[in-house]
Structure 1
C-alpha cells in the first residue's frame, strides 16, 4: 500500500536562526530488537539501514535539491539531487547528534545556511521527509509518494513555509592554498641531493545566491578520496565518479548529456595524463528557468603531451512542468599540433530531458555531433529513451546509434 498511516510513527520539528536550520526527529519504535544498520561510514547505502531522509528544493523548480540523510547508527549521507539522480560526492558541514532509547531513537541535525544555496528573501521551500524502517518492513513519508518512486522524488514534495524570510544569503568566499617541500637523495645511484617544492591554490567565490565561480591554480588532488577498485573484463572503459571538489557543484550541467555509456564530456579525463596548470569554472542559475555552466582548464606540457586547453559551455532551459532542453559545446585543443593526433576535437550536443509533473513519464532524446580536422562522415551519436511507471506497471524503451567516427 502507498496510502494510510505508518505503524511506526515519526515526529519532525524544525527551527531556525540566522545561521542554520535545525531538524529534530523522534522515531518511535514499538518492535523489540536491535535497530538495523550496517555502517558508520559517510554516504552509506540507503536501503540497507534504518534511516531518515530529508530533501529541500530551495528554488522550488522541482528539478534540483539537497538531500540530508542519516541512519540509526548516526552515519550521515548528503548530496545534490538533480532529476532522478543524486551526487553523493558533494559534502556539506551538516552536524548530527543521536540518542537511543528502548522505545525510540531521537536525532538533532544542524544544516548551516552557508552550505546550501537559496534565493534572497526566501520564505518558502519545497520539502519532504521519509523514513525507512527495515525491522518493520515499512517506509513512510510526510508528503505522500507513490510506492514506485523514492522518497527523494522532487515531483512529490510538500510546502515548507518559514514565519519570517530566511537570512540573506552571504556571498561566500573560500581560499585553500597549499605549499609543500621535500628533500630527496638516491644513495645507491650516487645522485646529488635534490629538493622538491610546489604551491597552488583553490578558490570558491559566490557571485550571487545562485551563481558560483571556482578557480584553481596548480591544484593538488592528492587529498581526494581514492576510487573503489573495479575489475574491468570487457573492452568498454569504466566511468568512475568525479570526486574532486572543483567539479562537484552543479555537476549535472556537464555530466547529464547522452546516456551512461555515451557522454560527450567526462571531467575525470582532465588531469588524468598531465597535471592541471589552472582553470576556472562558472556554474549556477541565471534565473529560475535558465542555468549556465562554463569550464576553461589548461594542462601542462609533458614528455607525451603538449599543452592542452579544455573549454566547455552548457546551457539548460526548463520547459513544461519539470522537463528541460540542454545544449553543450566541448572543445579540446592542443597548443601545437602533435604528431599522429588531431590538433582539436569538438562536440556539439543537444538533449531533451522529459519528466512529467507526476514523474510517471521519464525520457530523453539527444543528438551529438563531433568535429575534427578533415571532418569525416559519421561523426554523430543519437539516442532516445522513454519510461512509464505507474503502480505495478513499468515499461521502458531505449535506442541509441553511434557513427564510426564519433569523437
Structure 2
C-alpha cells in the first residue's frame, strides 16, 4: 500500500506541476538602493521613500475575493549595504480608533488591525520569513515553511516604529540582511503584503490570493525585483550569552532550597547567506512560558508544542516530518528530564533545490533517576521536485552512553539505542489546490522487537467551495520512536473528510456549509477498534463571528485497561466495547469588540453506558493597548456506574497581560486543575532593552488546592544579550 500511495503522489505532482509558472508573476515591485539615509520613526519624509516605487491597489481576500480592497494601503521598500527597509501607509476607510489586543509581540492575527510582509527570498514558493506590526506597534516575526505556515516562535533582530494619525497609521521597519537567509545572487524574491482592517472586517493582499487560502500562501506571491543582487552579509556571527540566578524550594518534600547560578552561550554562524550553524553550550529555557494545562480524558499521551528557541529555526526540516500523531522526531524529548550540555545544528538551503538539517545534542547523566548520558542525532535532507513539492529523507539516532542494561531483563529502564530512518514526499500544486504527503519510516533497536515501521499518506483538494481529504495510516506493533511522538502502535487508520461552503449574497453572513468525516482504526488483525463519524454545520458572519453545531457517534474497543476519568485508578477491562452518541456546539464572538467571548459544549454518552457533559468558556476584556484580562474555564461532569459514580472536574485559568510598551511586558497566569489537584501560578516580566536582548524575571508557585499549601516555588532572574561580531 505504501509504495502505491507514494508513487501516485509523486506522479501526480511531477506530471501536472513540473513546468508550472508563478501565478502572480505580473505583480512586480522594483526595489532600488536608498538615495538617502533612513531613520526608523514612522514618518514618510526621507528622499529615499519619495524615490521608491509604490505597491498599491490591494485586492480584497475576504469577505470576497473578486474586487479591489476598500481600504487603501501603500507600501515602499528600499535597502542599503546592511539593511532592508519597509514603510507602509495604512489608510483608514472608516472613522474611529484602531483595534488591537495589546503591545505583545507575535499577536493573534485575527484580533488586531495589522500589516504583514511575507517574503520568499529563495523564490521556491515554500520557505521564507514574515515581519509585521499591529496598529499599536507590536511586532510580529516568524519563519515560513510548507508554502504558507508561519512559526511565530522564531525570533530575530530588527527594528520598527508605528506612528498613528487621524486618517492612517504608518509602519516603518529595518530588517538587517544578517537576520534573514536568502539565496545568493538572485535578483527576484517572492513577496506579498497583507492588511487586516477590523473596522471594515476586510483582509486584503497586494498580489491576489483566493479566499480559501491564507494571505501567507507563498504560491500567490508577487515579485520583488532588485536593481542588483542583494548585498552579501560578509561575516555573519552572532553570540548570545546568558547569565541567571535563582532558587527552587521543595516546600512539600524535603524543604530544601536549591540555588541556581548559571551561565551559557548560544552562537549563530552564517556559513552562507542561506545556510546557518547554531551552537549552544549549557542552554537554559527557564524564561519559556509554561504549557497550558488541559483536562486529560484521552487514552494516549497528550501533545505539547516545542517552545524553546534553539529548536525552532528551520524547524520544519525536523518537526514537520510525519503527521499530527506520527512524529518520528519530537524535540521535547531532548533535555526535559536531563540537562543539555551542548549541541549544534546546521540548517538551511544548499542551493535552489536542496535543503539540509543536521542536529546533534548531548545530555548529561541523572544519577537519581538512573538516566544515562545520551546523545541525539537527527539528519534531514530535502530535495525540491516539481513546482512546489519536495522529497525529504530523515535519520534519527538516540544513543545511551556508557550504559549496558541487563541482557536478561525483559524491560530495561532505558534502551541502549533507538534509530529511525525514512522518506517522505510532500505534494503542493502550483496553485495550492492539491496538497498531500506520503511517508515511510522504519525503526531499529538492539532487539528485533524494535524493528517496526510506519506508513501514512493523504491527499487534499481545496477549492473556493469544496474541500475534501483522504488520509490513511499504518503503524506496526513493534514501531518505536523514542525521540518522537507516536502515542499508539499496532493499527491501521482510515480517515476521509469532506466539506462544502456556500457564499450567500448577504450583508450578515460570509459563508456557511456542512462538514462530514469518518475515522476508523483497525488492529493488526483487521479488527475494528475505534470509529468516529461526525456531521457538522459551520456559519461565519462578516463580523468574523463563527458558529458550529455537530453530532457524532463513537465506538471504542479497548486494547488495554483504561480509567475513563484518568483520576480514580479504577479501570475498564481490555476488550470491552463501548458506543455512544453526542452533540455539541461552538461559538466565537467577533474580534473587534474590546469584550470577547467564546464557548464550546458537548453533551452525550460516554464509556460504560455513562454520560459526559462538557462546557468550556473563554472571556476577555482589553483596555487597549496596555492591559488584557482573560479567563478560561473548562467543566466536565461524568456519570458512570460503580465504582466511578459521578466525577466532575474544573480547569480554570485567569490571565493578565500588561504591555507597558512594545518592549516591556508583564504576564500573570494562574491554572487551577482539579483533575491533577494542582494550582499553578506563573508570573513573567520581560524587558527587551535592545533588539533580541532581554531581561527576564520569572516566579512560579505550585499549590495543593485542599488543604491549601505550597508544593514548591521558584524564582529566576535571567539576562540575555545578542551581540553581532
1:259-338 pair list within 5 angstroms: 259-303=323-367, 304=369, 305-335=371-401, 336-338=403-405
| TM value normalised by structure 2 | 0.53
Single out whichever of 82-91 and 177-186 deviates more from structure 2: 177-186
In structure 1, C-alpha distance between the alignment counterparts of 2:384 and 2:249, rounded to whole Å = 59
* SS class of match (1:376): helix
Q: Is the 8 A contact 2:82 2:233 kept in 1?
A: no
- 1:60–1:182 distance in 2 versus 1, CA, 3 Å: closer
Instruction: Give the match for residue 218 of structure 2.
Output: 154
* SS class of match (1:155): helix
1:4-403 pair list within 5 angstroms: 4-83=67-146, 84-178=148-242, 198-303=262-367, 304=369, 305-335=371-401, 336-338=403-405, 340=412, 341-376=414-449, 379-403=452-476
- 1:232–1:96 distance in 2 versus 1, CA, 3 Å: farther
* SS class of match (2:318): helix
Once the two structures are superposed, what CA deviation does each residue of 1:352-402 show, in whole Å capped at 9, x if it has no partner?
110000000010111111111221277122111111011111111221121
- 1:6–1:326 distance in 2 versus 1, CA, 3 Å: same
In structure 2, C-alpha distance between the alignment counterparts of 1:372 and 1:221, rounded to whole Å = 31
Q: Is the 8 A contact 2:116 2:130 kept in 1?
A: yes
| TM value normalised by structure 1 | 0.92
Gapped runs of 5+ residues in structure 1? none
Larger Rg belongs to: 2
Q: How much has 1:309 moved relative to structure 2? A: 1.0
Once the two structures are superposed, what CA deviation does each residue of 1:228-269 show, in whole Å capped at 9, x if it has no partner?
444433233333332323212211110111111110001111
Q: How much has 1:227 moved relative to structure 2? A: 3.3
Count residues with an aligned counterpart: 403
Q: How much has 1:178 moved relative to structure 2? A: 4.2
- 1:179–1:397 distance in 2 versus 1, CA, 3 Å: same
In structure 1, C-alpha distance between the alignment counterparts of 2:306 and 2:249, rounded to whole Å = 35
* SS class of match (1:89): coil
In structure 2, C-alpha distance between the alignment counterparts of 1:35 and 1:135, rounded to whole Å = 8
Gapped runs of 5+ residues in structure 2? 1-63, 407-411, 481-725
In structure 1, C-alpha distance between the alignment counterparts of 2:248 and 2:396, rounded to whole Å = 41
In structure 2, C-alpha distance between the alignment counterparts of 1:401 and 1:167, rounded to whole Å = 48
In structure 2, C-alpha distance between the alignment counterparts of 1:27 and 1:181, rounded to whole Å = 44
Q: Is the 8 A contact 2:435 2:459 kept in 1?
A: yes
Structure having greater relative contact order (Cα 8 Å, sep ≥ 6): 2
In structure 2, C-alpha distance between the alignment counterparts of 1:221 and 1:168, rounded to whole Å = 33
Q: Is the 8 A contact 1:125 1:159 kept in 2?
A: yes
Instruction: Give the match for residue 65 of structure 2.
Output: 2
Q: Is the 8 A contact 1:382 1:402 kept in 2?
A: yes
* SS class of match (2:448): coil
Q: How much has 1:182 moved relative to structure 2? A: 8.2
In structure 2, C-alpha distance between the alignment counterparts of 1:334 and 1:241, rounded to whole Å = 25
In structure 1, C-alpha distance between the alignment counterparts of 2:223 and 2:334, rounded to whole Å = 41
Q: Is the 8 A contact 1:364 1:384 kept in 2?
A: yes
In structure 2, C-alpha distance between the alignment counterparts of 1:196 and 1:130, rounded to whole Å = 45
* SS class of match (1:246): helix
* SS class of match (1:44): coil
Q: How much has 1:46 moved relative to structure 2? A: 0.4
Q: How much has 1:112 moved relative to structure 2? A: 1.6
* SS class of match (1:111): strand
Single out whichever of 228-237 and 175-184 deviates more from structure 2: 175-184
Q: Is the 8 A contact 1:264 1:349 kept in 2?
A: no
- 1:45–1:198 distance in 2 versus 1, CA, 3 Å: closer
What's the RMSD between the two structures over aligned residues?
2.5
* SS class of match (2:218): coil
Q: Is the 8 A contact 1:368 1:381 kept in 2?
A: yes
In structure 1, C-alpha distance between the alignment counterparts of 2:239 and 2:135, rounded to whole Å = 35
* SS class of match (1:253): helix
Q: How much has 1:7 moved relative to structure 2? A: 1.2
In structure 2, C-alpha distance between the alignment counterparts of 1:160 and 1:180, rounded to whole Å = 43
Q: How much has 1:337 moved relative to structure 2? A: 2.2
In structure 1, C-alpha distance between the alignment counterparts of 2:117 and 2:269, rounded to whole Å = 27
* SS class of match (1:91): coil
Q: How much has 1:293 moved relative to structure 2? A: 1.0
Instruction: Give the match for residue 543 of structure 2.
Output: none
